[in-house]
Every structure is written in structure tokens, then in C-alpha cells.
Amino acid sequence: MNFIRNRNFRAGPQTSLEGFICPQNSDKKQKIKVFGRSGGGFRLNNLYLKTPRGLGASSPHVLSYVKKFNEQCNKIKRGDRCLPRNNYICIAMYKQIISEQRYTINVLLQKKMSKKDIAKAINVDLSTIYRELKRNSGSRNHYNWETAEANARRKKRRTPGNRRISQEVREEALRLLKEKQWSPEQISGYLAKEGKRISTESIYRIIRKDKKEGGSLYKNCRHRLKHRARPVGGKRIVIPNRVSISERPKEVDGVRFGDFEMDTIVGKGNCGAIVTLVEKQTNMLFMRKLKHGKNAKKLAETVKKILMPFKGKIKSITTDNGMEFAAHEIISKSLGVPVYFADPYSSWQKGAIENANGLVRQYIPKSAAFSNFSQQKITKFTAKINERPRKKLNFSTPKECFYKNIS
């Protein structure tokens, strides 16, 4: 007996799968559904067999498949959470409705049967019925099985959306971009009229890749990709093990001592960076010039050095979603405190550091190049800000209040 393999699949407790099994030297496939449940380990103990139309579930050879499959399943060691590659495989897949099922849906709808009962009658999930009706009901909300079948066949004949772009179409798109400076949307629409298919996003992907490799295609775009939400370098990278601000305790409100906020400010032309930290209760500011720009690991090491003398007093750090903070786990492990991330486009959730950055800009304007500012100068500016009396602190200075809590 052969089992179709899927090397990328990993199963855990409470896993439900669908796939095919097939006998040796045969093209016939039997669809199966397997439920895996475990008490800490992984063990398959139920097998549901869905047979093709016209083949009874009690057929001798089908039952033999089930028996052999169960034998393989029972060989799995308790605690082994990964399905053995050499024994069997299940391929997760969608159930596609066939013409007979569409006809049945049509008849049962005319009999005013509920969608839930229709799903049971043709042995599909309820969501499959909803998708089928939404896709093929038309403006009058009337479902016709023949129209639905025709739509399905037409869609099947259509070339897949992720098809490879031919070299001819690619070259033509790049020619229009370079010579006429058309937008990717204009290029895509124009070529579509000539029967040449390339999506707007595919053109942007080519431009982003070219820029990442040091090319100049992006200069032919009117906006030069400046207002594109997606980073020019390619895919947006997600910060690993990010802890949302929604999980932050209510005590982090600026009343207790030891809660910090963190940010970076950049120089003219996005060159150079300074990391800024502020303690919320006292507004004590710390700043360091970053020699390696926004490199996440180097920034984490710098923050660790700044805050290490106060390790026992720090309770939390809150920052934004900049990729320069992707190495936040280094900070957490070193200082023994959680790092929380504000929601996107919600700078008000870390108002203390935003206000502190505004004070810094009095000495380091946005138009200034950071190459003109040494760490010695930055330390001097930090001292000036920390020695200003604050109304919030009853006109004491942040420096005085901070070190009172430290001592």
C-alpha cells in the first residue's frame, strides 16, 4: 500500500486532516479523514473514510485499506508529535463540489431545506455551502446549478494567478516603465488590453527586488516607492515573539517607578540613529548614538548597557513596531523584564517617549545630520533635559526624582 507524502506537515494534538490513500499499482484514490487526539503525545485512533460516489464504504478492498492504515497509525510511539515520513501521509485539502452535488443543492433549496441540512445531505462542511451560494447566486440571490457548474469549469480552465511571467511580457513591462515612466497599474492595464497578463503587484515586486539589489528601476516611479506601506526591500518582516501592549498590566500607567518607553530618532536623509529611553514616572531620559544604525542586535546590546546599572528597579519596557527592536528578547533576558509593543500607528500609547523626543529635537533638529553630533554632545543635551524642573514633578528635576528611587 502506498501513501502520498507531504514532508512539510507536522501534526499535534487535536489535529484533523484530509488526504488520499491508494493501493499499489493503481490510480484509484480513496479520500480519508483522520482525527488525531492525544494526552500529551500524538496518536491517531479514529479513521473516517469518505469513498467516491458509487463505491460503498463496506467494500472489501476499502476496509482492507482502513485496516492497513490503522496498523500503521498504531505503530506511532506515544509522545512522537511528528508523523513518520515513511509510514503514511495525509494531505490537507479543500473539498471541491462536483456537478451532482450542485444539482442536489439546487433541488434542496427549492424544497426550502436549511443550509445546515443541505451540508449534511451532500456530506460537506456548512461553510462550503455558504461559499458556493455566495459565489453563484447572482444579483437576484437565485442559485442555478447549471450556471454554477459552468462557472466552475470556466474557472478551472483559467490560468492560475501565480503563473510564471513570460520573459517577453516582463521585458515589455520594464520598457514601458523606463521609457514612459508609467505607473505599474497603467502598465498592467495597458498590457492586459493586448492580451499580455502581468499584475500591478508583480511589477512592484520586480521593482522592489531590483532596488534591494542596488538597481534604479524605482527612480522611474513618480513617488519612488516612498509612500508604499510595504518596505522597499521586499516582504514585511514580523517581529518574532512580539508581546502586544494589550497584555501589559494596568499598573504600567506612569504612577509606579520602573516602567520605561523606548524609541529611535533618525538624522537627515534617514542617516544615523539615536536610541532614546525614558522612565515614565520621573521622565528621566537616556540617549545613545548608534554606531551601526538601526541594526537590531547592536541596538539591543546598547540598551542593555544603558539599563544594566538599574536592573533590579526596571519593571517593563514599551516600544513601537520598528524592526530595529526585533532583538527585544536579548533585552528581556538580560534585564529580566518584558518588552511590550504598541499597536501600529498608535504613538499615543507611548506618549512619554514621544514627548521626550520632541524635547531632543530642540538640540538635534530633524534637518540635522547626525554626523555632526558626537556622543559627548548628545550626553550634554541629555543632561540639560534631565536637569530641567518639571511641573509634573512639583518643579523638581527628572534627575533628582530618578535617583531618589534608585537609592
So what's the pLDDT on residue 158?
63
pLDDT mean over 134-143: 82
Model confidence pLDDT, tens digit, residues 151-178: 888 877 665 555 678 899 999 999 999 9
- For residue 304, pLDDT beyond 60: yes
Q: pLDDT band for position 282 (50/70/90)?
A: very high
338-351 tens-digit pLDDT: 999 999 889 899 99
**Residues 56 and 75: beta-carbon distance below 8 Å:** no
H-type helices in 75-137, by residue range? 99-110, 115-121, 126-136
Instruction: Check pLDDT > 90 for residue 352.
Output: yes
DSSP state of 390: B
The answer to which of 32-46, 65-79, 119-133 has the lowest mean pLDDT is: 32-46
Beta-carbon count within 10 A of 53 CB: 7
Which CATH code for domain 245-406? 3.30.420.10
Rg of the chain, C-alpha, whole Å: 31
Instruction: Please state the domain extents for the chain.
Output: 2-74, 99-157, 161-236, 245-406
pLDDT at 254: 85
Residue 67: per-residue pLDDT: 55
Q: What is the value of pTM for the model shown? A: 0.47
CA 99 from chain centre, in angstroms, equals: 37
What phi and psi values does residue 261 have, to the nearest 5 degrees?
-125, 150
Looking at per-residue confidence, does 357 or 2 come out higher? 357
User: What is the pLDDT at residue 151?
Assistant: 85
> In the prediction, which pLDDT does 148 show?
87
How high is the pLDDT of residue 334? 95
Question: Which of 265-269, 273-277, 377-381 is the least confident region?
Answer: 265-269
- Nine-digit cell at 351? 506618549
- What pLDDT does 79 receive? 43
Average pLDDT over residues 210-236: 72
CA 366 to chain centre: 32
Predicted confidence at residue 51, as pLDDT, reads 35
89-105 mean pLDDT:
67
SS (H, E, C) 14-41: CEEEEEEEECCCCCCCEEEEEEEECCCC
For range 39-54, the mean pLDDT:
34
**Out of 19-33, 188-202, 252-266, least confident range:** 19-33
Is it the case that residue 5 has pLDDT exceeding 80? no
Question: What is the mean pLDDT of the segment spanning 240-258?
Answer: 92
